[in-house]
Every structure is written in C-alpha cells, then in structure tokens.
Amino acid sequence: MFHLSSVEKSFGGVRALKPFSLSIPAGETLAILGPSGSGKSTLLKLLIGILAPDAGHISFRGKEIGEGGLAEYRRHIGLVIQEGGLFPHLTAHANIAIMARHLKWPQAKIEARIAELCTLVHLPQDRLSHYLKELSGGERQRIALMRALMLDPDVLLLDEPLGALDPMIRYDLQQDLKSIFATLKKTVILITHDLAEAHYLASAIILMRDGGIEQSGSYQDLASNPATPFVRRFLQAQRGLALGRAGA
Amino acid sequence: MKKLLFFLLTLALPCGIASAEEPIRVGSKAFTESVILGEVARHLAALDGFAVTHSRALGGSRLVWNALLAGEVDLYPDYSGTLIQETLQGEKIESLADLKAALKQHGVEMTGPLGFNNTYALGMMEEKAQTLGIKTITELAAHPALRFGFSNEFMNRADGWPGLRRTYRLPQQNVRGIDHDLAYQGIEAGRLDVIDIYRTDAEIAYYGLRILTDDRDHFPAYEAVYLYRTDLAERAPALVSRLNALAGALTEARMSRMNAAVKINGQPEAEVAADFVAETTGGVVAVQTRGFWQRLYDRTLEHLALVGISLFAAILVAIPLGILAVRKKHLGRLILSITGILQTVPSLALLVFMIPLLGIGGPPAIAALFLYSLLPIVRNTHAGLSDISPAIQESAIALGLPSVARLRLIELPIALPLILAGIKTAAVINVGTATLGALIGAGGYGQPILTGIRLDDMTLILEGAVPAALLALLVTAVFDAAERLFVSRGLRA
C-alpha cells in the first residue's frame, strides 16, 4: 500500500527522520511505537502529505503521493488524532458528513452511510445532533473514527487515538477497535506509545528511536529476540508498569 | 477592490455636496458671522432661482480657501486683512486693488467691501481692565501673569498671536488655544483674562468687554468681501451682480445686530439673513425651517450613510487582509503595522488629510472612517484565524478539503465570534468618530453638536449627542443579535 524509500526529514538542521525505508502491505495492521521525539509524528505528517520529505520517495499504490493532487490523495486516507480534531462549530453529524457534503453526495446516501457507521462504532444515533462540547471523550473518538471512515478510505491512520481517554473508556474502545479492524480489513497504521495496545491491536510493530527504525516485526519477534539493548529496555519498562499496576 | 471602493464612495456622494444639477455651492468658515454671510449669499442665489447649497461652517480660513481653489465651493465670505496677512502672505499686497489683482492670479474674484471692518482686537472684562488700569495692548506687557485664550486660528496666523507678541513684546506665557465661541464663556467665568475678539462679535456688548486699543496699529483692516471663482461670473452672472451690489450696504452696526440675533437671541442664521436680504433687495426668500423630527431624520440618514458605507467597505477589505496576514507571515506583520499606524493618526487630522484627495463633504469623511475601521477588523480576523488549534487545522487538511473550502467551512466559522467582535468595535468607534465629519461638511449628528458649541446652545448639542449615543447602543445590540444568529451554538460558552 505504502512504500517509503530513503526518506529524510530535518527541521532547522535537526534531523527528525534518518534515511528511512519501509513497506506497508495492503491489509496490514501496523503499530508504530516509540518514545516522544522518535519521529513518529513526522512520519505520520509525511504520510498525509502535510510535510514533504527532504529526500527520498513515498509512494501510495505505486504512485508518488500528491501526483494527482494532495487533496484527492487524502480522501483515500482516514485520520484520527488524539482528542479527535473535531470541529467545534459543527454538530457530530456535520463533522462526519463534511467531506461527503463537499463532494455533493445525495442526502440519502449520506444518511445511510452514517447509520452504517453508527452501528460499526457503537454510537447511538441520537448523539449525532450534539456539539463537541456536549460529548464525552469516548464519544468524540468514536465520532472522529466515523468521520475518518465516511468516504470508505483505503487506509486508516490513527495517531494516539486513545491517548487522552481514561482507562475504562480506553479499554472499551480498544475492544471495539479490534473488532472494527477485523470487520473492515483495511490497512491500519496505529501510532501509540503503549506496547500492550500495539500488541493487542496490531499484527506488526515498528519500534522507532531517534528518527530511525530500531526493530520491526511481530510482538513475539521483539519480545523473544530484542535487536538492541534499547528494545529490551523499552519492553521492560512497559512490562514493569503493567506488573506494578497489577500488584497494586 | 479599488473599483469597489470607488463604487462605494460614489454611493456616498448624495450625502455630500455634489449632485447631478451642479448647484452653486456656497461655503463659510466656522464662526457665526461667516455662516450668516453664507446664508445671505445662498438667499441671493435663490432669488434668481439658482439651485444652491451652503456647506456651513466648513472650517478655518485655509480650509475654505483651498476648497474654493479646488472648486469644492464656488464662493464664500472672507476678510481683506486675512487674505493679505495670512492667505496670500509673501505676495506683496499694499491695497485692495493689489489684492484683487493677486486673487485673479488664482482664478478668484473679489466683490467690493461690504461695508464693515471686522478687525481683530483684544478684549478684557471691563471690571478686570479697570482694576488693572489697562486701556491699550501696550499696557498688557506690565502684567505677565495674565491668562490669554486665543482662537485656534489666531494662535497660528501671521497677523495673530505670533505677530502681536513681536509688535508689543508681550511676555505672557499662559497662552492657550480655544474655540472662539467658548472663549467668551471662559472669560466670563474668570478662567481667562484676555481673549481675541472680532469687532462685530455680538458678545462684546453682551458680556461687557473692554476692547483694548491697538496703539501700535498691529491689526490691518479686515474689510468683509465675498470671494468667488472666476467661472461663477459666466455660470451665474445675476448672482455675481447681486453680490457686488451689496458693496457698502452692510454697516458694522448692522452686522453686529445680525450676530446678536443669532448668538444672543437664538434666531436661525437663515432667518436673520433672509431679513437682511429682504431689507436690501426687496426680494423675499422663503426660509424653510425643518421641524425637529425632520432634522433628526435627515441627520440620521446622513450619519447612517457615513457609518454604513465606510464600515461595509472596511469589512470587504479588512477580512481578506486579515486572511492574507495569517497566510503570509511577513506581509501580515506589514499589514498589521500599517493599519495600526492609521489608527494612531488623530481622527481630526485623518479627516483633514482626506480633503486634498477627495474634497469636502461625505466622501473624505467616509474614506477616513473606512481607514479607521480597518484595524479592529484586520486584527480580530488575524487573531481569530491564528487561534485555531493546529489539531483542527491539520484535521481539516487531512480530510482532503481544498484550501478555499477549509476557509469557508472551517476556519472562518470558527473565527467568526472574534471577527464579529472586531466589526462591532469598528462600528461603535465609527458612530462616535463620524460626528467629526460635520467639521468637513459631511453632516450627520456632528452638525448640531458643532452648531451647539458655536452658539453655546446645550439643547442643540444634545440634539446630536443623544442620538449618537443611542445609535452606538443600537449598533451594539444589532451585533449581539448577529452573534446569536450567525455564530454556531457549539462555539458559544
């Protein structure tokens, strides 16, 4: 689906991404892990074309991204960010329908698609008439997910989608996301710093550090065969937290 | 955008002085005698059926003279001394014949002297002058602590305070500029000791002022005359001969009586002038006095035109400028500083700067108000758009919305509360500032305020000030309603 070859990016002389190569096959559920400053967000912005690489190429389905216009390309990508990025002046319904309206879908088609998505993400339809400030954090993320899925994109990009939620709502959404991914069979790229979440939701993991890939593979590959001391420490730290929580 | 601005300014012309029939345009300076003489000229023109307008109390000598040269007015009353000592200073003029010749060089004709010499003089309250034993200007030099209050024009004119001080070597330091009509109130209240007066002022007798003798003949003769553009002789020969026929017909006593009728008895200038015209020519002119509600209605329309057109144009220009300022950071800083600097120009000065470009009346006032309205709208548009969080901006981009659609569907609606607040600020400032428009002949609520100050008539001042304040409140209410109507419920607290 995506192919990155020797992609580089610096900001004012500070290198955010080392020469970076990566292939993401269609239908894969990939988690990108790493501490803050490891280049995860830069990678995401490159993938949606908000940033352009200093060197190297990024292709989507064999074509350089942006070749047929970035706006058109982005309609194949659904993005959900932390806190949703929902528009406060629109109702949930208008947020979800904004692109479909812009593309002049017939009203009936819009309503049918929204009803379908409500079922998929487990959101009662009556929540749709509300504004952002009247919705809970979990509801907002479900609505953001609906907005991302509205045009039936090929790829779902999730940037710490559950990062700002409290643990119980987060747990519910993790369950729901897993079943949604299984239903849709789309290519999913999930950025997270939570190893357990990555393990639970993704089939493949990339662990990033200082703008490069430290190790990639399945959770088992990383756990049983850490490539560097950093990978081992990252895994230990995350497990240690989990154990500590269990013991309390 | 330029074309649009021009179009909007053209719309404003009817509230100014120009019109399709090219009426004869009379001007007058901002004091009662000049306004009365302007009314006399207006009535004379009306006698022969000319369409005629009178831009009353336009401003100081320099302003009205420039308006004559620019063809903004066709005629106005002036004084020989003012012309020789101030307006045409530097040209060697010794006599009225010299003056006539010098004026011709500027395309201006002069009637013969009307018959009175309204010279400058210095006046003191009789009692105070007696106590100090002051009869002549020379004797003022011995009392350096005296407080002087001079009309603003007198403060700066070559024949005014600067020359007077030199001629008599006057040592006084406490000298301030003050509106001529307010000076009489100041001296009566004992806040001033010496003021400049015009020889025909009605207040001299009314307040019992002693006129100090100009014992060194500093002040020249100020023979009242009418000035008119050379082309008026072709356009309205009947009027020109009527004006010339007035020569010698207006004595100092008669002029004083007319001034007193207006300033002391509160008669309208139009009436006083009509009486004089009837007396001298036998011609009767109908003086139409507008009732209170008619006056209020007319001024409200004028004021709304000033505020509405300038604000509308400012919205059309300032919102795109605000958007541009966000998109192009460097240009943005420039735009914000320029509009900021415009805001620091005193409103009166801005109005006057517009005169050489746009003449007098509605258009220059609208242009000045337009420039004044830019900053609050540009600044708030800029702030409203800059305040949108990166998460929302990136979400809008990532959705695949093109830039124009993002602006229309996301950014402007989210910035709308701040933009509306900016427009509201501009509108309220405009309502207040537009009252100054009357100083350059734009009419509106400022007209009765200015006349009220000139005639010391509080009722007249309130007739302008109260509607202006109410209009400001109304504007606030309208924008509050607009906010409820147009701002999304999701953005309101």
3-class SS letters over chain B: CHHHHHHHHHHHHHHCCCCCCCCEEEEEECCHHHHHHHHHHHHHHHHCCCCEEEEEEEECHHHHHHHHHCCCCCEEEEEHHHHHHHHCCCCCCCCHHHHHHHHHHCCEEECCCCCCECCEEEEEEHHHHHHHCCCECHHHHHCCCCCEEEEHHHHHCCCCHHHHHHHHCCCCCCEEEECHHHHHHHHHCCCCCEEEEECCCCHHHHHCEEEEECCCCCCCCCEEEEEEECCHHHHCHHHHHHHHHCCCCCCHHHHHHHHHHHHCCCCCHHHHHHHHHHHHHCCCCCCCCCCHHHHHHHHHHHHHHHHHHHHHHHHHHHHHHHHHHHHCHHHHHHHHHHHHHHHHCCHHHHHHHHHHHHCCCHHHHHHHHHHHHHHHHHHHHHHHHHCCCHHHHHHHHHCCCCHHHHHHHHHHHHHHHHHHHHHHHHHHHHHHHHHHHHHHCCCCCHHHHHHHHHHCCHHHHHHHHHHHHHHHHHHHHHHHHHHHHHCCHHHCC
Output B58 or B416, whichever has higher pLDDT: B416
Residue B317 has pLDDT above 90, yes or no: yes
Q: How many CB atoms lie within 10 A of CB B449?
A: 20
Buried b (16+ CB within 10 A) or exposed e, A41-79: bbbbbbbbbbbebeebebebeeeebeeeebbebbbbbbb
At A241, is the pLDDT very low, low, confident or very high (cuts 50, 70, 90)?
A: low
- A27 in the Ramachandran plot: left (φ > 0), alpha (ψ -120 to 50) or beta? left
Minimum distance, in Å, between the CA of residue B475 and any CA atom of chain A? 25
Same fold, B24-116+222-281 and B120-212: yes
Model confidence over B394-448: pLDDT tens digits?
Answer: 899 988 888 899 999 999 999 999 999 999 999 999 999 888 888 777 788 988 8
Given a contact cutoff of 8 angstroms between Cβ atoms, the answer to whether B316 and B4 are in contact is yes
Q: Which residue of A has its CA nearest to B490?
A: A89
A71 chain-B contacts, CB cut-off 8 A: 400-402
A147 chain-B contacts, CB cut-off 8 A: 399
pLDDT reported for residue B20: 45
pLDDT reported for residue A242: 54
Mean pLDDT of B316-326: 93
A159 chain-B contacts, CB cut-off 8 A: none
Distance between start and end Cα atoms, chain B: 36
pLDDT reported for residue A35: 84
pLDDT reported for residue B196: 92
Separation between Cα atoms, residue B218 and residue B159, nearest integer Å: 8
Over chain B, what is the mean pLDDT?
Answer: 86
**What is the residue-wise DSSP string for A66-117?**
TTT-HHHHHTTEEEEETTTT--TTSBHHHHHHHHHHHTT--HHHHHHHHHHH
Separation between Cα atoms, residue B380 and residue A22, nearest integer Å: 45
Q: What CATH architecture does domain B120-212 belong to?
A: 3-Layer(aba) Sandwich (3.40)
Mean pLDDT of A105-110: 94
Residue A81 has pLDDT above 70, yes or no: yes
Q: One-letter amino acid identity for B292?
A: F
Exposed / middle / buried, residue B236 (Cβ in 10 Å: 0-12, 13-18, 19+): buried
pLDDT reported for residue B4: 40
Identify the CA nearest to B375 among candidates B336, B419, B331.
Answer: B336
Minimum distance, in Å, between the CA of residue B324 and any CA atom of chain A? 20
B490 chain-A contacts, CB cut-off 8 A: 88-91, 131-133
Residue B88 has pLDDT above 50, yes or no: yes
Separation between Cα atoms, residue A2 and residue B336, nearest integer Å: 44
B394 chain-A contacts, CB cut-off 8 A: 45, 50, 81, 85
Separation between Cα atoms, residue A139 and residue A128, nearest integer Å: 10
Domain layout of chain B by residue ranges: 24-116+222-281, 120-212, 291-492
Minimum distance, in Å, between the CA of residue A74 and any CA atom of chain B? 5
Separation between Cα atoms, residue A196 and residue B78, nearest integer Å: 94
What's the topology of domain A2-246? Rossmann fold (3.40.50)
Please give the structure tokens belonging to residue B53. Answer: 């307008």
pLDDT reported for residue B381: 95
Mean pLDDT of A68-81: 86
Residues paired with residue B76 on neighbouring β-strands, in sequence order: B227
Residue B6 has pLDDT above 70, yes or no: no
Buried b (16+ CB within 10 A) or exposed e, B293-316: eeebeebbebbebbbbbbbebbbe
Q: Which residue of B has its CA nearest to A87?
A: B392
Domain layout of chain A by residue ranges: 2-246
Model confidence over A21-39: pLDDT tens digits?
Answer: 888 888 889 999 988 888 8
Given a contact cutoff of 8 angstroms between Cβ atoms, the answer to whether B395 and A71 are in contact is no
Q: Which residue of B has its CA nearest to A88?
A: B490
B488 chain-A contacts, CB cut-off 8 A: 88-90, 131
Q: Is A91 on the interface with B (CB under 8 A)?
A: yes
Model confidence over B205-254: pLDDT tens digits?
Answer: 888 889 998 888 888 888 999 999 999 988 889 899 999 998 888 888 89
Minimum distance, in Å, between the CA of residue A151 and any CA atom of chain B? 10
Over chain A, what is the mean pLDDT?
Answer: 86
Identify the CA nearest to B120 among candidates B212, B219, B206, B216.
Answer: B219
Residue B359 has pLDDT above 80, yes or no: no
Cα Dmax for chain B: 90
Residue A46 has pLDDT above 50, yes or no: yes
Buried b (16+ CB within 10 A) or exposed e, B96-130: beebbebbeebebbbbbbbbbbbbbbbbbbeebbe
Mean pLDDT of A118-139: 90
Mean pLDDT of A5-19: 84
Minimum distance, in Å, between the CA of residue A92 and any CA atom of chain B? 10
Identify the CA nearest to A118 among candidates A152, A89, A150, A90.
Answer: A150
The length of chain B in residues reads: 493
Q: What CATH architecture does domain B24-116+222-281 belong to?
A: 3-Layer(aba) Sandwich (3.40)
At B15, is the pLDDT very low, low, confident or very high (cuts 50, 70, 90)?
A: very low
Identify the CA nearest to B311 among candidates B415, B446, B482, B425.
Answer: B425
pLDDT reported for residue B224: 93
Output B290 or A248, whichever has higher pLDDT: B290
Mean pLDDT of B359-368: 83
Find the CB nearest A48 among B391, B398, B491. Answer: B398
A88 chain-B contacts, CB cut-off 8 A: 392, 414, 488, 490-491
Given a contact cutoff of 8 angstroms between Cβ atoms, the answer to whether A154 and A189 are in contact is no
Find the CB nearest B490 among A75, A82, A132. Answer: A132
Say if the Cβ atoms of A86 and B399 lie within 8 Å: no
In angstroms, the Cα distances linking B92 to B68, B154, B255 are 22, 22, 30
Q: Which residue of A has its CA nearest to B410?
A: A87
C-alpha of B458 from chain center: 19
Consecutive H or E run containing A137: helix A137-149
Say if the Cβ atoms of B395 and A86 lie within 8 Å: yes
Q: What CATH architecture does domain B291-492 belong to?
A: Orthogonal Bundle (1.10)
